[in-house]
Amino acid sequence: MLVAYKMNKIKNTKLIGPLTLIGDKMTAPKSKVLTILSVAILCGAVWFVGVKPFLGEVEHFKYKQALGQRKREEALKHILQAIKHDPHNTAYLLYTGQLYAAIHHPEYALDYIERTIVDYNGDITAWSMWFIKGILKAQLGDLRGAKRAFEKALYYNPTFGPAKQKLAEVEGIMKAHDRVLVPIR
């Protein structure tokens, strides 16, 4: 239809539909462009605010099922998929860090715990992520980092006994280490 209009070189002819032919230029009415743009923005908002987090929750449910059946590798696959759908969900990041720690990958676990701390939005307890970070830092040999993390856990929950105990252990190791190094100097 458009080709026929161009071939006949009919000027200022309007086409039926959203496009208009004025001379040699195609234009669309502003109201229709705004409508299309609004629908596109609305679809994007629904996708990123509704659908993607829902898909993350579905994968989180599958993670819980697999973990309940003690299938850690399958659980890991599902929680990683949940993070792909909702990458800033601190609960998913914390669960992934805990799972990596349980399967003896403290370096991966620490990465996810640190992402949890960066993306923290209040949906988990702050002291728990700092406590886990302290344990992982201690396992990886970073005693000063472990001490700072346990102190931060106690800042958020001053009555948390396990953090007090781990902090005392780390400080004891650091003092013993200093006693060994002082005579050598």
Q: Where are the domains of the chain?
A: 1-71, 88-185
Q: Does pTM surpass 0.75?
A: no
Contact 154, 163 (CB under 8 A): yes
Query: Which pLDDT belongs to residue 44?
Result: 75
Between CA 129 and CA 116 the distance in angstroms is: 7
Query: Which pLDDT belongs to residue 96?
Result: 96
Between CA 133 and CA 127 the distance in angstroms is: 10
Residue count of the chain: 185
The residue with greater pLDDT, 124 or 96, is: 96
Q: Which residues pair with 26 in a beta bridge?
A: 21
DSSP secondary structure letters along 1-66 = -HHHHHHHT-TTPPPSSS-EEETTEEE--HHHHHHHHHHHHHHHHHIIIIIHHHHHHHHHHHHHHH
The residue with greater pLDDT, 57 or 2, is: 57
Residue 124 DSSP class: S
Tokens of 72: 């850690």
pLDDT digits 0-9 by tens, 102-159: 999 999 999 999 999 999 988 889 999 999 999 999 999 999 999 999 999 999 999 9
Query: Which pLDDT belongs to residue 11?
Result: 52
DSSP secondary structure letters along 72-123 = HHHHHHHHHHHHHHSTT-HHHHHHHHHHHHHTT-HHHHHHHHHHHHHT--SS
What would the mean pLDDT of 161-183 be, rounded to a whole number?
85
Contact 136, 105 (CB under 8 A): no
The superfamily (CATH) of domain 88-185 is Tetratricopeptide repeat domain (1.25.40.10)
Query: Which pLDDT belongs to residue 31?
Result: 76
pLDDT digits 0-9 by tens, 14-44: 554 555 555 555 555 667 777 887 777 877 7
